[in-house]
A and B are shown apart, each in its own frame.
Chain A
Amino acid sequence: MMAADLLTLTPQGLYCPDGDFHIDPWRPVSRALVTHGHSDHARPGMAAYLTTPQALPVIRHRLGAITAQTLPYDQPLSINGVTVSFHPAGHVPGSAQIRVEHRGEVWVVSGDYKTEPDGLAEPFAPVTCHTFITECTFGLPVFRWRPQMETVAEIARWWAANAAAGKTSLLAAYSFGKAQRLLAALPPLGPILTHGAVEEVNQILRAQGYALPQTTRVTPDITGKTHPGALVLAPPSALATPWARRFEPAEEAMASGWMAVRGIRRRRGLGTGFALSDHADWDGLLAAVRATGAGRVRATHGYTEPFARALRDLGLQADTLQTEFLGDDATGDGA
Chain B
Amino acid sequence: MKAFAALFAALDGTSSTAAKTAALAEYFRTAPEADRVWTIALLSGRRPRRAASSTELRLWAAEAAGVADWLFEESYAVVGDLAETIALILPPPATAAPPPALSLAMSGLIALTGQPAEARRAAILSAWATLPSTERFLYTKLLTGGFRMGVSQGLMTRALAQATGRPEAEIAHALMGDWEPARTSFAALVERAAEGPDSRPYPFALASALEGGPDGLGAPSDWCAEWKWDGIRGQLVARPGAFALWSRGEELITDRFPEFAPLADFLPAGTVIDGEVLAWDTTTGQPQPFAALQRRIGRKTVPKVLLHEAPARLLAYDLLEAGGQDLRALPLATRRARLEALLAGLPADLPLATSPLLAFSDWAALTAARVTARDHRAEGLMLKRAGSAYVGGRKRGDWWKWKLDPFSVDAVMVYAQAGHGRRANLYTDFTFAVRDGDALVPFAKAYSGLSDAEFAEITAWVQRHTLERFGPVRRVPPELVFEIAFEGIQESPRHKSGIALRFPRMVRWRRDKPAVEIDTIETLRALLAAAGGRLPPAPPEDI
B459 within 8 A of A: yes
A221 within 8 A of B: no
Q: A140-B78, A267-B426 are in contact. Are A262 and B71 (CB under 8 A)?
A: no
A264 to B81, CA, bound (A): 11
A264 to B469, CA, bound (A): 23
Docked-complex contact B426 and A303, CB < 8 angstroms: no
Interface flags for B448-471 (1: CB within 8 Å of A; 0: not) read 000010001001000100000100
Quick one: which of A144, A267, A306 contacts B74, CB cutoff 8 A? A306
B13-49 residues with Cβ-Cβ distance < 8 A to A are 13-15
Q: Give the residues in chain A near B80, CB-CB below 8 Å.
A: 261, 263
Instruction: Please give me the residue from chain A that is nearest to B133 by CB atom.
Output: A146
Q: Give the residues in chain A near B425, CB-CB below 8 Å.
A: 263-264, 267, 329-331
A310 within 8 A of B: yes
Instruction: Please give me the residue from chain A that is nearest to B456 by CB atom.
Output: A331
Q: Give the residues in chain B near A11, CB-CB below 8 Å.
A: none
A269 within 8 A of B: yes
Docked-complex contact B12 and A271, CB < 8 angstroms: yes
Interface flags for B432-459 (1: CB within 8 Å of A; 0: not) read 0000000000000000000010001001
Interface flags for A84-109 (1: CB within 8 Å of B; 0: not) read 00000000000000000000000000
Quick one: which of B13, B67, B423, B452 contacts A141, CB cutoff 8 A? B67
Interface flags for A305-335 (1: CB within 8 Å of B; 0: not) read 1100110010000000000001001110000
A313 to B111, CA, bound (A): 39
B340 within 8 A of A: no
Q: Which candidate, B85-93, B293-301, B502-510, B511-519, is the interface stretch facing chain A?
A: B85-93
The smallest C-beta distance from B15 to any residue of chain A, in angstroms, reads 6
A161-190 residues with Cβ-Cβ distance < 8 A to B are none
Quick one: which of B14, B424, B459, B469 contacts A271, CB cutoff 8 A? B14
Instruction: Please give me the residue from chain B that is nearest to A140 by CB atom.
Output: B75
The smallest C-beta distance from B428 to any residue of chain A, in angstroms, reads 11
Docked-complex contact B15 and A269, CB < 8 angstroms: yes
Docked-complex contact A310 and B84, CB < 8 angstroms: no
A225 within 8 A of B: no
Q: Give the residues in chain B near A262, CB-CB below 8 Å.
A: 12, 81, 84
Q: Give the residues in chain A near B70, CB-CB below 8 Å.
A: 306, 309
Docked-complex contact A303 and B420, CB < 8 angstroms: no
Q: Give the residues in chain A near B68, CB-CB below 8 Å.
A: 310, 313
A305 to B78, CA, bound (A): 13
Q: Give the residues in chain B near A267, CB-CB below 8 Å.
A: 422-426, 452
A81 to B469, CA, bound (A): 42
Quick one: which of B92, B426, B469 contacts A144, CB cutoff 8 A? B92
Taking residues whose C-beta sits less than 8 angstroms from the other chain, chain A's interface range is: 20 to 34
The smallest C-beta distance from A98 to any residue of chain B, in angstroms, reads 27
B484 within 8 A of A: no
Quick one: which of B74, B422, B459, B463 contacts A263, CB cutoff 8 A? B422
Docked-complex contact B85 and A271, CB < 8 angstroms: no
Docked-complex contact A261 and B424, CB < 8 angstroms: yes
Docked-complex contact B463 and A326, CB < 8 angstroms: yes
Docked-complex contact B88 and A142, CB < 8 angstroms: yes
Residue from B79, B426, B456 whose CB has the most chain A CB atoms within 10 Å: B79
Q: Give the residues in chain B near A271, CB-CB below 8 Å.
A: 12-15
A272 to B84, CA, bound (A): 17
Q: A260-B88, A269-B15 are in contact. Are A306 and B423 (CB under 8 A)?
A: no
Docked-complex contact A141 and B89, CB < 8 angstroms: yes
Q: Give the residues in chain B near A142, CB-CB below 8 Å.
A: 75, 78-79, 85, 88-89
Docked-complex contact B13 and A263, CB < 8 angstroms: no
Quick one: which of B71, B463, B469 contacts A140, CB cutoff 8 A? B71
A266 within 8 A of B: yes
B105 within 8 A of A: no
Q: Give the residues in chain A near B84, CB-CB below 8 Å.
A: 261-263
Instruction: Please give me the residue from chain B that is nearest to A143 by CB atom.
Output: B88
Instruction: Please give me the residue from chain B that is nearest to A268 by CB atom.
Output: B422
The smallest C-beta distance from B454 to any residue of chain A, in angstroms, reads 14
A306 to B472, CA, bound (A): 11
B65 within 8 A of A: yes
A310 to B68, CA, bound (A): 8
Q: A141-B71, A267-B426, A329-B425 are in contact. Are A303 and B65 (CB under 8 A)?
A: no
Q: Give the residues in chain A near B540, CB-CB below 8 Å.
A: none
Docked-complex contact A261 and B422, CB < 8 angstroms: no
Docked-complex contact A266 and B422, CB < 8 angstroms: yes
Q: Give the residues in chain A near B71, CB-CB below 8 Å.
A: 140-141, 306, 309-310, 313
The smallest C-beta distance from B375 to any residue of chain A, in angstroms, reads 43
Q: Give the residues in chain B near A306, CB-CB below 8 Å.
A: 70-71, 74
Q: Give the residues in chain B near A331, CB-CB below 8 Å.
A: 425-426, 456, 459
Interface flags for A2-37 (1: CB within 8 Å of B; 0: not) read 000000000000000000000000000000000000
Q: A144-B88, A269-B15 are in contact. Are A263 and B421 (CB under 8 A)?
A: yes
Residue from B70, B425, B469 whose CB has the most chain A CB atoms within 10 Å: B425
A78 to B541, CA, bound (A): 70
Residue from A141, A260, A272, A326 whose CB has the most chain B CB atoms within 10 Å: A141
Interface flags for B411-430 (1: CB within 8 Å of A; 0: not) read 00000000011111110000
A331 to B456, CA, bound (A): 8
Interface flags for A55-91 (1: CB within 8 Å of B; 0: not) read 0000000000000000000000000000000000000
Instruction: Please give me the residue from chain B that is nearest to A262 by CB atom.
Output: B84
Docked-complex contact B67 and A261, CB < 8 angstroms: no
The smallest C-beta distance from A15 to any residue of chain B, in angstroms, reads 22
A143 to B65, CA, bound (A): 13
Docked-complex contact A263 and B79, CB < 8 angstroms: yes
Q: Give the residues in chain B near A263, CB-CB below 8 Å.
A: 79-81, 84, 420-425
Q: A303-B78, A306-B74 are in contact. Are A141 and B65 (CB under 8 A)?
A: yes
Instruction: Please give me the residue from chain A that is nearest to B10 by CB atom.
Output: A271
The smallest C-beta distance from A101 to any residue of chain B, in angstroms, reads 33
Instruction: Please give me the residue from chain B that is nearest to A326 by CB atom.
Output: B463
A264 to B425, CA, bound (A): 8
Q: Give the residues in chain A near B424, CB-CB below 8 Å.
A: 261, 263-264, 267, 330
Q: Give the residues in chain A near B85, CB-CB below 8 Å.
A: 142
A331 to B419, CA, bound (A): 14
A228 to B481, CA, bound (A): 52
A303 to B79, CA, bound (A): 13
A271 to B420, CA, bound (A): 18
Interface flags for A289-312 (1: CB within 8 Å of B; 0: not) read 000000000000001011001100
B364-385 residues with Cβ-Cβ distance < 8 A to A are none
Q: Give the residues in chain B near A330, CB-CB below 8 Å.
A: 78, 424-425
A310 to B88, CA, bound (A): 17
A310 to B70, CA, bound (A): 9
Q: Give the residues in chain B near A264, CB-CB below 8 Å.
A: 424-425
The smallest C-beta distance from B426 to any residue of chain A, in angstroms, reads 7
A306 to B469, CA, bound (A): 12
The smallest C-beta distance from A315 to any residue of chain B, in angstroms, reads 13
30 residue pairs bridging A and B, Cβ less than 8 Å apart: A140-B74, A140-B75, A141-B65, A141-B67, A141-B75, A141-B89, A142-B75, A142-B85, A260-B88, A261-B78, A261-B84, A262-B12, A263-B79, A263-B420, A263-B422, A263-B425, A264-B424, A267-B425, A267-B452, A269-B15, A272-B13, A305-B469, A306-B71, A306-B74, A309-B70, A313-B68, A313-B71, A326-B463, A330-B425, A331-B425
Given A261-B78, A263-B79, A267-B425; 10 other pairs, CB 8 A cutoff: A141-B65, A143-B88, A261-B80, A263-B80, A263-B81, A267-B424, A267-B452, A303-B78, A310-B68, A331-B459
Query: Which 9 pairs of residues, A with B, have the shortest CB-CB distance?
Result: A330-B425, A142-B88, A306-B74, A271-B13, A142-B75, A263-B80, A263-B424, A140-B75, A263-B421
* Partner-A contacts on B (CB < 8 A): 12-15, 65, 67-68, 70-71, 74-75, 78-81, 84-85, 88-89, 92, 420-426, 452, 456, 459, 463, 469
